Structures are given as structure tokens and as C-alpha cells.
Amino acid sequence: MTTKTTIDPKLAQWLDANDARVRDQLFEFLRIPSVSARSEHKGDVRAAAQWLHAQCARIGMQVETLETAGHPIVLAEWRQAPKGAPTVLVYGHYDVQPAEPLELWTSPAFEPTIRDGKIFARGSVDDKGQLWLHIAALEAHLATRGTLPVNVIVLAEGEEEVGSEHLAEFVKAHRERLKCDAVVISDSTMFAPGIPSILSSLRGLAYLQVDVTGPNSDLHSGMYGGAVVNPATALARIVASFHDADGRIAIEGFHDKVRPFPDAVRAGLRELPFDEREFMEHLDVQALGGEPGYSTLERLWHRPTCEVNGMLSGYTGEGAKTVLPGQAMLKVSCRLVPDQDPKEIAKLVERHVLKHAPKGVTVKVTELHGGHAWRAELDGPLYDAASRALEAAFGRTPVITGEGGSIPVVNDFATILGAPVLLVGFGLPGENAHAPDEWISVENLEKGMRAMACLWDEISKQQM
């Protein structure tokens, strides 16, 4: 018999009483244009770090702002939990995407504005709002009880939008200090409004460039066509060989290390309110495609892919130019699932490409980028606690979602710290994270605080 979890009324009461003030403070945070990609905003990025530093100190944490070769990292700690209590690391980022094109914003990007229950501002959902709700949840505990049931480390970086270039190095260098029992990250979206979500998988990546060289220059297609191997045709035939006629990836050895996803995951996906017609309408396509035997969500989240990202050869301007191209270039990337290894997959793709290259052209394969897939162990106490906390705040059990893309820091934390990672986000589809009119729902912001405040209590009850 399970008892329905509820949030401690004292925490709830404090949050109710402080919602307006907490939101006003988030607005202060959002007004700082901490665009990490633009050197002219370097001072603003630092100002955002200082603001966050001051807030963490205000609620009663020990705070340090630590320099990196790029933007600084704010590290706030509270380590006075009862002996034996677990330690939780909360990761977030205080930098934001550039706001351009500014003319497409309904209200100014750095002047938060509420419309239709949404806070519009650059960084509202990605990730200042989601980072701030954690600080508010921590404050609720410290303000009402003077203590927290778990030790907490808040690590906020200022380079997430430019590739988290110095984060892994930082985590490695501070491995001992950052040692923890769980990592909690709120930088993702819920499946749909009202449906709390735990993001349980990310796909990895093996990104390659293929350069096919034929004759030493572009030739006249009349004078040479028919007898010289055309690099564009050769490349097209290579690309066509990546999949069989049914859409299965046909690269030898590609599937060898694919770990099947659990039946429970498949069952869970079936229960998600996913509307395929809506998905197609949104993309303006008449049909979907992909690997036979899998549903769309399975294809998107749990199956590996091999997708062309770019292709270039010969004359691509207006009208007709009768050129037989001297070269052809392909960008291709595979999304990976556990336990595919990015380096190994890159080698398999290279071998396949070379095997399918005809005589008369030379082919060069370059590995550009790679990363491992990640899949949560959903059976652990961390997920039980999260599930109860989310149910307490949202009134329903969370759904388990996947994500077809990659979030490299997740693997960094999991690998370097050896702790389970909980991805629990409060964004929503259509939130415009990297586009004009970015927003976070006020309701999700408030429920998110309550869920996270509850999470610390629930985690403290678990054997981590």
C-alpha cells in the first residue's frame, strides 16, 4: 500500500506567500543580457554570475565564483544535513542564447513580460527560470526550517550555450568536492502541459564528413561526361547504401552493440498522448519514414539513425551550368543509443564508405564530432523520489520521455562523478528556447518549485 505523497504544508505555505517576490527576483535575473556567445556581453555574463552568487549567499549557502578559461562557474554549497544524508548536485546555467533577430520579439527579449500565463524573456526557460526555481525551493527549506534534509551543491555555469567548453575539465579538477549521490538538472521540457516528465534517455552522436575527389578540377560535362567517374554520383550511391530498401541502416556491424530498450519503455511510450497527425502537420509532411518495426517515438528516442546533414557538389546557382564536378562533400551523422561507441561507429561508417566508393574517385572520411548516448536506470531510488515529488506538485505521476538529441554534460556528470543523473524539466513544447519569444509557463515555474522542494524531502527518505 502506497501513501500519496504531499508537499510539507509549511514549505507550500512559504512558497505561496513568496511567489510574487520569487518571480520579481527571476525578472531581475532575466534582465541581465548574459549572452555567452557575444564578447560584447562578457560583462553581462559576469554580472549574472555575481547576481546568482549574491542570491545563493542570501538564502544561506556558502558560495564561490570560480574562474575558468572562459566564463566563471558559480558554486554554492550547503553541507549541514544530518550525518548519512545524501548529497545532491544541482546543475544549471546562467548564460543565454543571443536574442537576435530582435524585431521578431513581441516584447523586448530582456524585459520579462507576462502574457497568457507565460513569462516571455530570453533565458526564461533556458535556463535561468529552471535554475531559479531550484534556488527558490532551497530557500523555502532554509527559510522555514533553517535546514535542508540533504547536502546540496549548486553548480551553475556560464558557457552552456557555447558548448560547455570548460565544464568537464572543471568537474574533473573538482571531482572530490563535487562528489555526490545524485545530479539533478532542470533544462528540458515536459511532454505536454500538465504532464510532468522525467527525461530518461539521450542519444549519442558520431558526426563525419566525407570528401569525394574525382578529376582535379570541374570538367565540361559534355566533353568528359560518360567516361569520367562523377564524384557527385559516387557520393549519392554511397549515401543510398547507408540504408536498405526498407529504411534499415545497412552499415555492417552498426547494430552489433545496440542494447534493446526495455519493454517497460515501449509500453510507456504507447501511453504518451502523441498525435502523429499533429506531428506531420507541424512539419508539413504527408508521411513519416524510418526503420520498420518501430513507432515514431521509438525511432526518435530509442533507435539509432544515419542522417545526411549536408551535401554539396558542382554548380548550385541559378540556371544550367554543364559541369562535371571535381568534388563532392557530405556531412553525415549517426545518432547513437547504448551501448554504441561513437569512435567505433565512426570507424564502421568509414569502412562502409570506403567499401562503396567506386574506382576512379578518392574518398576521405573525417570524424568531426562524437558523444555517447545516455540512458537512466529508472529502477533507482532517485527516480522513485522524483516520481513522488512530481506527483505531489502536478497531481499525476510523471511520464518517462526520451530525447533524440544529445546533452553532453549529462554524460560528463554521469561518467566523472559516477552518480545517477535526474533530468526533470519544466519547459513545454513550443517554448522557443533558442528563438524569439522564449517563454516559461508561470504554472510550471511554480509547480516546479514545489516539486523540487518536495524532492529533497523524498530523497532524504531513500537509501541512495
Q: Is 98 in the site for a second copy (CB under 8 A)?
A: no
Closest separation in Å from C-beta 202 to a second copy: 8
Judged by CB, which is closer to a second copy: 78, or 207? 207
Rounded Cα distance between 11 and 284, Å, is 46
Of 68-76, 112-120, 169-177, 304-312, the window that binds a second copy (rule: CB under 8 A) is 304-312
CB under 8 Å to 170, separation ≥6 — which residues? 66, 68, 73, 157
Closest separation in Å from C-beta 288 to a second copy: 5
Q: Is 290 in the site for a second copy (CB under 8 A)?
A: yes
Chain positions 396 to 455 lying near a second copy, rule: CB under 8 A, are: 403-406
DSSP conformation letters of 321-347: --EE-SEEEEEEEEEE-TT--HHHHHH
Of 49-57, 153-161, 301-309, 386-394, the window that binds a second copy (rule: CB under 8 A) is 301-309
Chain positions 132 to 151 lying near a second copy, rule: CB under 8 A, are: none
Judged by CB, which is closer to a second copy: 3, or 286? 286
Cell numbers 527560470 correspond to 129
- Candidates 93, 134, 335, 447; binder of a second copy (CB under 8 A) is 335
**Cell for 386?**
522524483
- Candidates 114, 368, 414, 435; binder of a second copy (CB under 8 A) is 368
- Candidates 55, 97, 333, 387; binder of a second copy (CB under 8 A) is 333
Q: Is 293 in the site for a second copy (CB under 8 A)?
A: no
- Candidates 119, 190, 205, 349; binder of a second copy (CB under 8 A) is 205
Of 96-104, 120-128, 202-210, 255-263, the window that binds a second copy (rule: CB under 8 A) is 202-210
CA distances from 291 to 157, 283, 297, 298, 302 (A): 38, 19, 12, 10, 11
Q: Is 222 in the site for a second copy (CB under 8 A)?
A: yes
Judged by CB, which is closer to a second copy: 32, or 330? 330
Cell numbers 531559479 correspond to 132
Sheet holding 204-213, edge to edge: 327-336, 204-213, 362-371
**Cell for 356?**
562503396
Judged by CB, which is closer to a second copy: 181, or 298? 298
Buried b (16+ CB within 10 A) or exposed e, 304-331: bbbeeeeeebbeeeeeeeebbbbbbbbb
- Are residues 218 and 314 in contact, defined by beta-carbon separation less than 8 angstroms? yes
Q: Is 309 in the site for a second copy (CB under 8 A)?
A: yes
Q: Is 284 in the site for a second copy (CB under 8 A)?
A: yes
DSSP conformation letters of 378-429: TTSHHHHHHHHHHHHHHSSPPEEEEESS--HHHHHHHHHH---EEEE--B-T
Going by their DSSP bridges, the two strands 421-424 and 204-213 should be labelled as unpaired
Rounded Cα distance between 47 and 61, Å, is 19
Judged by CB, which is closer to a second copy: 275, or 307? 307
**Cell for 146?**
533553517
- Candidates 23, 299, 375, 447; binder of a second copy (CB under 8 A) is 299
- Are residues 425 and 134 in contact, defined by beta-carbon separation less than 8 angstroms? no
Q: Is 360 in the site for a second copy (CB under 8 A)?
A: yes
Cell numbers 574533473 correspond to 172
Closest separation in Å from C-beta 178 to a second copy: 27
Judged by CB, which is closer to a second copy: 50, or 241? 241
- Candidates 223, 270, 343, 430; binder of a second copy (CB under 8 A) is 223
Is 220 in a helix, a strand, or coil?
Answer: strand
Rounded Cα distance between 212 and 358, Å, is 10
- Candidates 267, 283, 377, 463; binder of a second copy (CB under 8 A) is 283
- Candidates 41, 128, 134, 303; binder of a second copy (CB under 8 A) is 303
Of 101-109, 142-150, 165-173, 216-224, the window that binds a second copy (rule: CB under 8 A) is 216-224
Q: Is 193 in the site for a second copy (CB under 8 A)?
A: no
- Candidates 82, 262, 289, 430; binder of a second copy (CB under 8 A) is 289
Name the residue type at position 361: V
Q: Is 101 in the site for a second copy (CB under 8 A)?
A: no
Judged by CB, which is closer to a second copy: 242, or 394? 242
Cell numbers 502537420 correspond to 281
- Are residues 135 and 25 in contact, defined by beta-carbon separation less than 8 angstroms? no
Binding mask 232-271 for a second copy (x = CB under 8 A): xx-xxx-xxxxx----------------------------
Cell numbers 569502412 correspond to 351
Cell numbers 513522488 correspond to 388
Closest separation in Å from C-beta 331 to a second copy: 6
- Candidates 300, 376, 409, 451; binder of a second copy (CB under 8 A) is 300
